[in-house]
């Protein structure tokens, strides 16, 4: 039977560093190290075949917009070729893209949806 060699625990991540003169703790560095997550915008792309009504419903359902806003976004896509429907963390943005593409596929529409990092 193989004997397990105990490993040294990994260094703490984002832990406040302790000074070596007692129990005092430096909290300053902890706040400096925390960065906001990179955000991703999710866009719908125009095409000549997907019905406007389908796009409006998709924007309402997957991007939580009211009908008025969804209609304005759909018209912007129709006129400009694309528009941002929402901004999310990387994972949520990828899920939105998957959900929209799956709904379009199920309905037989060629609607395209992409995500891209902000900045």
The residues that touch ligand TYC, with contacts defined as CB under 6 A, are 44-48, 50-52, 55, 74, 77-78, 111
Question: Based on CB atoms, which residue is closest to ligand TYC, 95 or 112?
Answer: 112
Tell me which DSSP letter residue 108 carries: T
Question: Based on CB atoms, which residue is closest to ligand TYC, 16 or 110?
Answer: 110
Please state the closest distance from residue 119 (CB atom) to ligand TYC, in A.
24
Secondary structure (H, E, C), 3-54: CCCCCCCCCCCCCCEECCCCCCEECHHHHHHCCCCCEEEEEEECCCCCCHHH
Nearest CA among 82, 80, 78, 85 for reference residue 52 = 78
Please state the closest distance from residue 46 (CB atom) to ligand TYC, in A.
5
Please state the closest distance from residue 114 (CB atom) to ligand TYC, in A.
11
Nearest CA among 118, 97, 113, 103 for reference residue 46 = 113
Please state the closest distance from residue 72 (CB atom) to ligand TYC, in A.
12
Question: Based on CB atoms, which residue is closest to ligand TYC, 45 or 84?
Answer: 45
């Amino acid at each position: 039977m193989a004997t397990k060699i105990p490993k040294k625990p990994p260094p703490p991540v984002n832990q406040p560093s302790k000074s070596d003169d007692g129990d005092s703790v430096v909290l300053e560095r902890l706040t400096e190290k925390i960065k906001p997550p990179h955000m991703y915008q999710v866009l719908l792309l125009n095409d000549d075949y997907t019905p406007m009504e389908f796009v409006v419903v998709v924007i309402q359902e997957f991007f939580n917009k009211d009908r008025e806003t969804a209609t304005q976004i759909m018209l912007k896509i129709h006129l400009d070729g694309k528009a941002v429907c929402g901004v999310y963390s990387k994972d949520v943005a990828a899920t939105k893209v998957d959900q929209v593409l799956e709904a379009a596929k199920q309905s037989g529409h060629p609607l395209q949806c992409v995500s891209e990092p902000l900045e």
